[in-house]
């Protein structure tokens, strides 16, 4: 027990999320709390909805933040759209597709799995086959950016396949939103969720979701009530909906919403396309450094996520010891491997505000120092010049 206030150590967050939160967003978070039905807060809610529509590139009015982390956004999509007996095609190529399966089954639905190897994107050919083999399926669910491996799947093609077979699409965009190209309306995505702590670089704990026209109809035509009271969109809309009269549903995390608003403003100021380009450009510089050092990417170039760089751990390096030393000596957090990839890879995030030149330099310098000192099988002294060459060539 301690009677001291908590002062976190200063860290640079280059793992799979949370990512570095910019001072502007932290400053917004500390502004005075007002009531969750205060007219000024209701105005802010409307602004947040508008900014989220921009971030998602959708016109859908049913676009709003769920007051809980990305996992709750995932659950909101499934509990509202899946009823007992519904058949859902679920694509799995990493950890998060497995959670989608869990969600389908807990809603009483039947999950038909389309499996791809970890590190590979979802194979549209297999998805097409599954949709043909199961004409009674009504939903296709997949992860756009698999944070456990760093693989990006072709969300546009997969959403098109869903439409072609009269299925709704549920898309996990927790790591892709604001980091990789994503166009909800143009691509015909029906339901999508994300998180605030990845490429939006806001504090953790909020999940932006969006439901398109067809998804809204499906919710309206349900034969049973949504089994979750908290995540029932019909009830949430009484508080977040467009009508002038807002009714209490739950107490929104008011200050976290200030932070979300600020991070979305920063995204708008930068421009969505510019943010995507920045993530890609910084990824190429980090990649040049990592590869020069001798670390290998586990995902093919064509489907590599710029915001999540999964590389193999070199011989002679002790996974946990390296990450501990990075944290203690360089105040730098990188991610460990998850599931099947535990102990085999590191996941280096360049998400949102963390996707900056100084972070690339810090990370490559720190890895070079720690791995060289440990006698790991890398080429020392070459990572930084290789990255700088890419940065200078821009």
Ligand X SMILES: *Cc1c(COP(=O)(O)O)cnc(C)c1O
List interacting residues with ligand X (CB under 6 A): 17, 69-71, 74, 96, 143, 147, 172, 174-175, 195, 204
Strands (DSSP E) found in 80-180: 87-92, 110-115, 139-143, 145-146, 151-152, 168-172
Q: How far apart are CA 161 and CA 89, in angstroms?
A: 12
Q: How far is the CB of 388 from ligand X (least distance, A)?
A: 30
Give whichever of 69 and 365 is closer to ligand X, judged by the CB atom. 69
Give whichever of 174 and 178 is closer to ligand X, judged by the CB atom. 174
Q: How far is the CB of 313 from ligand X (least distance, A)?
A: 21
Q: How far is the CB of 260 from ligand X (least distance, A)?
A: 13
Asked if 248 contacts 241 with a C-beta cutoff of 8 angstroms, the reply is no
Q: How far is the CB of 350 from ligand X (least distance, A)?
A: 14
Give whichever of 181 and 291 is closer to ligand X, judged by the CB atom. 181
Q: How far is the CB of 74 from ligand X (least distance, A)?
A: 6
Determine how many CB atoms are found less than 10 A away from the CB of residue 269.
Answer: 9
Give whichever of 71 and 372 is closer to ligand X, judged by the CB atom. 71
Give whichever of 148 and 361 is closer to ligand X, judged by the CB atom. 148
Q: How far apart are CA 188 and CA 111, in angstroms?
A: 22
Give whichever of 76 and 371 is closer to ligand X, judged by the CB atom. 76
DSSP annotation string for 193-257: E--SSSTT---SS-EEEEE-HHHHHHHHT-SS--S-STT-HHHHHHHHSSSS----SS---HHHH
Q: How far apart are CA 229 and CA 233, in angstroms?
A: 9
Give the three-state DSSP class for 23: helix
Q: In 3D, which of 146, 119, 142, 147 has the Cα closest to residue 18?
A: 147
Give the three-state DSSP class for 339: helix
Give whichever of 53 and 93 is closer to ligand X, judged by the CB atom. 93
Q: How far is the CB of 175 from ligand X (least distance, A)?
A: 4
Q: How far is the CB of 243 from ligand X (least distance, A)?
A: 29
Q: In what order do the strands lie in the sheet with 63-66?
A: 63-66, 207-211, 191-193, 168-172, 139-143, 87-92, 110-115
Q: How far is the CB of 71 from ligand X (least distance, A)?
A: 3
Paired tokens of 105:
């089954």
Which conformational region is residue 171 in: left (phi greater than 0), alpha (psi within -120 to 50 degrees), or beta? beta
Give whichever of 73 and 289 is closer to ligand X, judged by the CB atom. 73
């Amino acid at each position: 027990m301690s009677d001291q206030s908590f002062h976190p150590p200063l860290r640079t967050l280059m793992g799979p999320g949370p990512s570095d939160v910019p001072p502007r967003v932290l400053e917004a978070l500390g502004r005075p709390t007002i009531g969750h039905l205060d007219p000024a807060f209701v105005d802010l809610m409307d602004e947040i909805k508008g900014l989220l529509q921009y971030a998602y590139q959708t016109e859908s009015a049913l676009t709003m933040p769920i007051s809980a982390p990305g996992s709750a956004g995932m659950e909101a999509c499934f509990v509202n759209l899946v009823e007992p007996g519904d058949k859902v095609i679920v694509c799995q190529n990493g950890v998060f597709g497995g959670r989608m399966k869990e969600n389908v089954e807990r809603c009483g639905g039947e999950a038909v799995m389309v499996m791809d190897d970890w590190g590979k994107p979802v194979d549209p050919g297999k998805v097409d086959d599954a949709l043909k083999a199961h004409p009674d399926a009504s939903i296709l669910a997949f992860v756009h950016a698999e944070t456990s491996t760093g693989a990006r799947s072709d969300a546009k093609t997969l959403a098109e396949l869903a439409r072609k077979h009269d299925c709704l699409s549920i898309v996990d965009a927790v790591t892709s939103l604001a980091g990789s190209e994503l166009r909800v309306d143009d691509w015909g995505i029906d339901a999508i969720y994300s998180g605030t702590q990845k490429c939006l670089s806001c504090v953790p704990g909020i999940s932006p979701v969006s439901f398109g026209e067809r998804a809204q109809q499906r919710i309206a035509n349900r034969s049973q009530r949504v089994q979750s009271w908290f995540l029932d969109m019909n009830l949430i809309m009484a508080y977040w909906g467009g009508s002038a009269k807002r009714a209490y549903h739950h107490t929104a995390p008011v200050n976290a919403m200030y932070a979300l608003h600020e991070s979305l403003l920063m995204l708008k100021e930068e421009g969505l396309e510019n943010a995507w380009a920045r993530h890609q450009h910084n990824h190429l510089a980090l990649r040049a450094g990592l590869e020069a050092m001798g670390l290998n990417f586990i995902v093919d170039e064509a489907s590599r996520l710029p915001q999540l760089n999964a590389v193999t751990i070199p011989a002679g390096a002790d996974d946990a010891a390296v990450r501990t030393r990075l944290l203690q000596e360089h105040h730098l957090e990188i991610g460990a491997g998850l599931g099947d990839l535990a102990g085999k890879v590191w996941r280096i995030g360049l998400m949102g505000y963390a996707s900056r030149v100084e972070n690339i330099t810090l990370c490559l310098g720190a890895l070079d120092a720690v791995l060289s000192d440990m006698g790991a099988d890398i080429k020392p002294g070459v990572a930084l010049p290789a990255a700088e060459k890419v940065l200078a060539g821009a």
